[in-house]
Amino acid sequence: MRTMLSDFLQPGLILIISGLLLLLLPAALRRAVQIAGPLLTLAAVLLVLGREPESGAPVQLGADLAESGVLTVIFALIFALIALVAAIYNLHEKNRYELAVEAVYAGSSISVVFAEHWIGMLIFWELMAVASWLIVVSSRTVAARRAGFRYLLVHMLGGNLLLAGIVIKLSQGEAAIEMLSVSMDAASWLILAGVAVNAAIPPLNAWIADAYPESTMGGTVYMGSYTTKVGVFCLIRLFAGTELLLYFGVFMAVYGVCMALIENDLRRLLSYHIVSQVGYMVAALAMGGELGVDGASAHAFNHILYKGTLLMCAGAVIKATGLRKITDLHRLGGLAHVMPVTAVCFLISSLAIAGFPLLNGFVSKALIMNAAAGGGYHWAELLLLLASVGTFMSVTLKINYFVFFGRGESEDAQPAEGALTGEGVRPGEASLPLNMKLAMIAGATACVVTGLFPGLVYGLTPFGSDGHPFTVDHVTQYIGMFAGAALVFVMYIRHMEPAAKLTLDTDWLYRKPLKYAFWWLCRTVDGVRLFLGGKIGAFCTRAVEYLHDPRRLLKAKPRPARDCLEDDDVLQKPVGWLIALTFAILLAATFYVLIRLG
């Protein structure tokens, strides 16, 4: 067991320090630090993981998984890798506050992965929440400020639940992180609820679709990669094999794609796919077993790659056109002609997320499907396949058709105000900095490489399971399924364009009824205060008058004016506030003594 200090002296600290440097250094040095931070972190991760002691004995499910560090390998590596890709994507960014909080956010996420003690985990968890909130508000719009406030509230709730669980754990003398699914007590349930907020498990899922689209382009890439995956990491580490999570995971997978099918905002749609894909991971880890744990880990790894690329491409589209709604983008008439690099990268990563053969989503889904089949969860497998169909329709077909490859409604549609385009010039990739394109290409290439060579990812998983993805049945299954879905998509193409509407999610609960409930509560309490204040105030005023001069009880003599200092009655003040208070305390003490004696 490592010491508590090792929770703080780990690779994530490099990124956190680089974040602080970004805040302090002049603009000329910032770019170097932006790249050097993730690069050094990646090197440190490889160094630390290379030094992991080989016990020789195979890792067992259960306590070993939480303590052995085998799970750290795959998550730390992908977190460091995506930090580098996201840094390249954001290299042109000049807002040093944004760059700083992004680095701190990535660093604290990596630190959670390396934490061996509850305290270390909690500190970096909270740091992650605050840094991610600052990323949301760094786009400096009113909508971002409001969404950021809601984001912070939800994550503080999750953080406090985690804190409560950890306090109980510490009070029981358990400082080191351990597997909790073995015996679920109050502390375990509290920790589960806290982690569930980060993993966007319903009903606490709405913050993703609420906050992510309001962030900056680069900020969304960071946020889409870390918070939920840190949640998944903790769920695997602490709650692998908890069957209850299977129901939530499968629900998330299907719910996410249904919401994505009707969503109109490009990044909000992709945010719903985070919910859906995390659903796959939650379902896989809940199935337990080596295949389930490996499936969840490998899918998290691959998901970060293709989702990062999708969000980078979406950011590029929004930056180039100034438009974020699919209905508006569709009117531009197929961006593939003017944004070919973005379109190809998006196409590759959108096929990957659906699970198309030879791309990375396919290889990790194979593990999850094998886990479901091996565990006898046929219903879960069927619903996860349904979610794959929905993913294919809502990302691969819907976005590619309506944004990149479909014919627009009109060729003379103008980009929105703020679009980075010249007068009368259609939006294009020319307006995008080279670093953004390089990052997108790197992400798409990673999706292809890890899809063609699945051993690269399988070898990093805790148990090294092989999903045997390239068997005829696996390949024909997905191609046949997608062909069937495409047929329906073409048949109902007129219904597939989203409506220019807002879709309610569970955030409605705290944005409408809870808001009005608080308003009503405040108004009622204020009303009661005013009413009672008036009545009690009047009573007290009268009472004080009589306490000043008890003789008034006997003679109905009007009290002289207060400012009449010459008046004897006032000057004498036989009984005042102090006496009244003393009398009240005496009365209370007497009652207390009488009651105690009685």
Binding string, residues 149-168; x marks residues near other proteins by CB under 8 A: -x------------------
- Interface with other proteins by CB under 8 A: which range of 35-43, 169-177, 193-201, 485-493? 485-493
Please say which residue, 500 or 585, places its beta carbon nearer to other proteins. 500
The number of residues that bind other proteins (CB under 8 A) is 53
Q: Which is nearer to other proteins, 6 or 477 (CB)?
A: 477
- One-letter amino acid at 135 equals I
> What single string gives the DSSP state of each residue in 510-524?
HHTHHHHHHHHHHHH
500 touches other proteins (CB under 8 A): yes
Which one of 13, 252, 281, 393 is in contact with other proteins (CB under 8 A)?
393
| 468 is a contact residue toward other proteins (CB under 8 A) | yes
Question: What are the CA-CA distances from residue 383 to residues 6, 351, 520 (Å)?
Answer: 42, 19, 42
From the CB of 520, what's the least distance to other proteins, in Å?
14
**Beta bridge partner(s), residue 523:** none
Residue partners of 309: CB distance under 8 A and separation at least 6:
345, 346, 348, 349, 440, 443, 444, 446, 447
| Residue 265 bridge partners (DSSP) | 325
| Binding status of residue 482 toward other proteins by CB under 8 A | yes
- Does position 552 interact with other proteins (CB under 8 A)? The reply is no
Of 32, 176, 244, 499, which lies in the binding site for other proteins, with binding defined by CB under 8 A?
Answer: 499
Does residue 327 bind other proteins (CB under 8 A)? no
Angle in degrees, 0-180, between the axes of helices 266-287 and 289-321, rounded to the nearest 10: 170
Hey, which residues between 233 and 262 contact other proteins (CB under 8 A)?
Answer: 257-259, 261-262
Q: Of these, 112, 230, 385, 442, which contacts other proteins (CB under 8 A)? A: 385
Residue type, 108: S
Structural tokens at position 196: 């569930």
What are the b/e assignments for 339-360, b being 16+ CB within 10 Å?
Answer: bebbbbbbbbbbbbbbbbbbbb
The answer to the question of residue 358 lying near other proteins (CB under 8 A) is: no
Residue 299 makes contact with other proteins by CB under 8 A: no
Q: Given the complex with other proteins, which of 143 and 430 has the nearer CB atom?
A: 143
Establish if 386 lies at the interface with other proteins (CB under 8 A).
Answer: yes
Binder among 474, 547, 548, 549 for other proteins (CB under 8 A): 474
How many C-alpha atoms does 514 have within 13 Å on its Cβ side?
Answer: 7
Q: In 3D, which of 147, 144, 34, 41 has the Cα closest to residue 92?
A: 34
Among 490, 581, 585, 588, binds other proteins (CB under 8 A): 490
What residues have CB less than 8 Å from 278, skipping those under 6 apart?
Answer: 199, 200, 228, 229, 231, 232, 252, 303
By CB under 8 A, residue 523 contacts other proteins: no
CB of 142 to other proteins, least distance (A): 9
Under rule CB under 8 A, residue 476 binds other proteins? yes
- Per DSSP, 406 falls in state S
From candidates 510, 552, 559, 580, binder to other proteins by CB under 8 A: 510
Q: Which residues contact 340 (CB under 8 A, 6 or more apart)?
A: 429
Does position 203 bind other proteins by CB under 8 A? no
311 near 224, Cβ under 8 Å?
A: yes
Annotate 286-299 with b (16+ C-beta within 10 A) or e (fewer): bbbbbbbbbbbbbb
Q: How far is CA 541 from CA 533, 534, 547, 578, in A?
A: 12, 10, 10, 15
- Return the closest-CA partner of residue 461 out of 60, 47, 64, 73: 73
Q: 340 vs 480, which CB is nearer to other proteins? A: 480
Q: Measured in Å, how far apart are the chain's first and last C-alpha atoms?
A: 60
Task: Give the per-residue contact string, 117-156, with other proteins (x = CB under 8 A; - = no).
Answer: -----------------------------x---x------
Which residue is listed with tokens 């337990």?
Answer: 288
Residue 299 or 426: the one with the smaller Cβ distance to other proteins is 299
2 makes contact with other proteins (CB under 8 A): no
Residues near other proteins (CB under 8 A) are 146, 150, 257-259, 261-262, 370, 373-374, 378, 381-382, 385-386, 389-390, 393, 468, 471-474, 476-490, 492, 495-496, 499-505, 510-512, 514-515
